[in-house]
Amino acid sequence: MTRLKRLRPIALALIVTASLLGCSDDEANTFAVTFTPSGTAAAPRAIKLVQKSKSGGRVVVSVVIGGPDTNLDMYSFAFDVKIGDPSKLRFVDGSDAPGNALVAFAGQTIESIVGLGTLPGGGTDQSTVVIGVSKLGGGLGNGVAGASAVIVDLAFDVRSAGTTTLTIAGSGGNPPRVFDSGGSVIGTITFDAAAASVSGASTGGGSGGY
């Protein structure tokens, strides 16, 4: 099976017909946001959520893998991030950016395909961010050279005051997975099962929710 064929089911799962509901940047800025990571310790071959930056009611969350471990052959990632209460937090459509966990060798490119999931009866699942990050173009995967590496960055906006969880989960009925260059799951890489949390507080100047 080619790399592109492996990525295609991920891409198809991300194609949704409903538009993303959300707020403008001005509305997001009527909130202050606080991100609290899970208590799970960083470790080689362990994937978890950490804060990259925040401004107003927007927080950018990095999905990171611990290192160093240059013996890995990472080629693609497939997982979801679950928002515990989507009335309090939304994923910012188009905000995803692949990080430095995958390194493009000669002839390779790196692509992230990220979007909201779909509900069983149709429509958009505001609580599920479906994520695929992969090399394309054949060749080998790579390991982690430093203490950590970023798989993908994701932005979230506060929708209303309060606290919700962010949790890494499986996708399409499968557990969260990392594939090597041969298409096999790398079973020694683990995903944090504990939840991070995001809290929003109103700073005034808006309706306090939408």
| DSSP string over 37-84 | --SPPP-BTEEEEEEEEEETTEEEEEEEEE--EEEEEEEEEEEEEEES
- Does a structural domain hold residue 116? yes
Element (H, E) at 12: helix 3-14
Torsion angle of the four alpha carbons 117, 52, 176, 136, in this order, in degrees rounded to the nearest 10: 80
Q: How confident is the model at residue 144 (pLDDT cuts 50, 70, 90)?
A: very high
29 or 125: whose pLDDT is higher?
125
Rounded to the nearest integer, the mean pLDDT of the chain is: 88
The yes-or-no verdict on residue 147 having pLDDT over 60 is yes
The yes-or-no verdict on residue 206 having pLDDT over 80 is no
pTM metric for this prediction: 0.86
Q: Are 85 and 159 spatial neighbours (Cβ–Cβ below 8 Å)?
A: no
Cα three-residue angle 188-153-145, rounded to 5 degrees: 45
CATH label of the domain that carries residue 179: 2.60.40.680
Domain range holding 83?
3-202
Q: Tokens 């611990």 — which residue?
A: 66
The yes-or-no verdict on residue 82 having pLDDT over 90 is yes
What is the reported pLDDT for 22?
Answer: 40
What is the reported pLDDT for 3?
Answer: 39
210 or 109: whose pLDDT is higher?
109
SS3 10: helix
- Does a structural domain hold residue 111? yes
- Does a structural domain hold residue 117? yes
Q: How confident is the model at residue 109 (pLDDT cuts 50, 70, 90)?
A: very high
Task: Provide the β-strand partners of residue 156.
Answer: 59, 91
Q: How confident is the model at residue 14 (pLDDT cuts 50, 70, 90)?
A: very low
Q: Are 67 and 143 spatial neighbours (Cβ–Cβ below 8 Å)?
A: yes
Cis peptide preceding 175, ω within 30 of 0: no
Torsion-angle region of residue 162: left (phi > 0), alpha (psi -120 to 50) or beta?
left
- Does a structural domain hold residue 83? yes
SS3 33: strand
What is the reported pLDDT for 204?
Answer: 77
Section 186-193 average pLDDT: 98
The domain tally of the chain equals 1
Q: Are 157 and 113 spatial neighbours (Cβ–Cβ below 8 Å)?
A: no
What is the reported pLDDT for 209?
Answer: 40
- Does a structural domain hold residue 207? no
SS3 56: coil
Q: How confident is the model at residue 5 (pLDDT cuts 50, 70, 90)?
A: very low
- Does a structural domain hold residue 209? no
What is the reported pLDDT for 187?
Answer: 98
What is the reported pLDDT for 19?
Answer: 31
